[in-house]
Amino acid sequence: MERPDLGKLTAALVREVIRREAPILERAGLEMWDYVILVALSEGDAATQRDLAAASGRDKTRLIGNLDRLEATGLVARAPDPADRRNKVVSLTPTGRRVLARCRKDIRAMEDDLLAGITPADREAFVRVLILLGDRAD
Amino acid sequence: MERPDLGKLTAALVREVIRREAPILERAGLEMWDYVILVALSEGDAATQRDLAAASGRDKTRLIGNLDRLEATGLVARAPDPADRRNKVVSLTPTGRRVLARCRKDIRAMEDDLLAGITPADREAFVRVLILLGDRAD
DNA sequence: GTAGATCGTACGCGTACGTAGATTATTTGC
DNA sequence: GCAAATAATCTACGTACGCGTACGATCTAC
């Protein structure tokens, strides 16, 4: 089977997805990293910013600026952990949850459009393999 | 179907592929961009460096440094076009072709390892969809 | 032939990145 | 109590990126 490198193919797809996400995120006033962080938070509050950095893939020093903005616009809350006041527990506010839900919906619609014309069987196989390979960090 | 964003999934896969390509490229003394450029050249000589920049996705001013290195190590050749001496025709040398072939083989082996355990049908669907979506720049 | 466009090249700008201290507040081990 | 460790933060550094500009060599149009 002659085909381009996986790296080339996947990088092209990432570029295309980013290109299509850009207008959605801009409309919501979010940067790419903001969205990634909100998504990470939607899977549960972060006990520490260190944890959030690890969960989102964002460098811990760079994360601070994003949280400053997200906190200032009321999308997330930073609360000192009563049990260990060095830690700050980061959580989504109701507003943050609402903004994220809307973004997610728009992005899902964009993805459906991107996947238009792909048979359901191929879509399922594609996503299945994607999930498998992304976790294959061994 | 509940699943992570396509962006998250594909970005994770790209990171994993890059991580696995790194030792192969380092062994060959190539940077990531060097490899991308060699691959672009393997699909035909570039009539101009401008064309090569477009074909490889590299910024035209950044391309120069890569070509300097690749030329110095004898992997590519820059020859003034007799028909228009402003242009420089960039081509793979036999050495370049050999180094690229070896890299490609190692990378293909890495990919086979990454894809181990995926059924042939799923692999084919995966690559098929990947090729389709990457070109979907509309 | 002369004006204007094009190619390769060099350089500087602003941006984003990860890393490495240093600092302050806080907790933990002894 | 006090020393060592840890979390969040700030700052500075070096690197890579795309973009814009400028310049010399060269080609094209008129």
Evaluate if residue B137 carries a pLDDT over 80: no
Would you state the pLDDT for residue B138? 61
- Percent of chain B surpassing pLDDT 70: 98
Would you state the pLDDT for residue A138? 61
- Per-residue pLDDT reduced to its tens digit, B75-86: 999 999 999 999
Check if the beta carbon of residue B79 is closer than 8 Å to that of residue B86: no
Q: How far, in Å, CA of B63 to CA of B18, rounded? A: 20
- Interface mutation target, options A36, A128, A133, chain B, most CBs of B under 10 Å: A133
Domain count, chain A: 1
Q: Which of B10, B16, B125 sits opposite A17 (nearest CB)?
A: B10
In a domain, B35, yes or no: yes
- Per-residue pLDDT reduced to its tens digit, A6-61: 999 999 999 999 999 999 999 999 999 999 999 999 998 889 999 999 999 999 99
- Extract the tokens encoding A37: 């962080």
| Distances in whole angstroms, Cα of residue B5 to Cα of each of A21, A98, B89 | 11, 17, 42
Check if the beta carbon of residue B110 is closer than 8 Å to that of residue B20: yes
State how far Cα B40 lies from the chain centre.
Answer: 6
pLDDT band at A134; cut points 50, 70, 90? confident
**Residue B70: closest CA among B38, B112, B116, B115:** B38
Please name the amino acid found at residue B137.
Answer: A
Evaluate if residue A1 carries a pLDDT over 70: no
In a domain, A93, yes or no: yes
Q: Under an 8 A CB cutoff, do A13 and B111 touch?
A: no
- Per-residue pLDDT reduced to its tens digit, A82-122: 999 999 999 999 999 999 999 999 999 999 999 998 999 99
In a domain, B1, yes or no: no
Q: Which of A9, A11, A36 sits opposite B131 (nearest CB)?
A: A9
In a domain, A22, yes or no: yes
- Report the CATH number at residue B50: 1.10.10.10
* Chain B partners within 8 Å of A37 (Cβ): none
Evaluate if residue B2 carries a pLDDT over 80: no
**Residue A12: closest CA among B40, B131, B71, B3:** B131
- Per-residue pLDDT reduced to its tens digit, B74-115: 999 999 999 999 999 999 999 999 999 999 999 999 999 999
Quickly count: other Cβ atoms within 10 Å of residue B47's Cβ. Answer: 15
Domain containing residue A114: 6-134
| Partners of residue B18 on adjacent β-strands | none
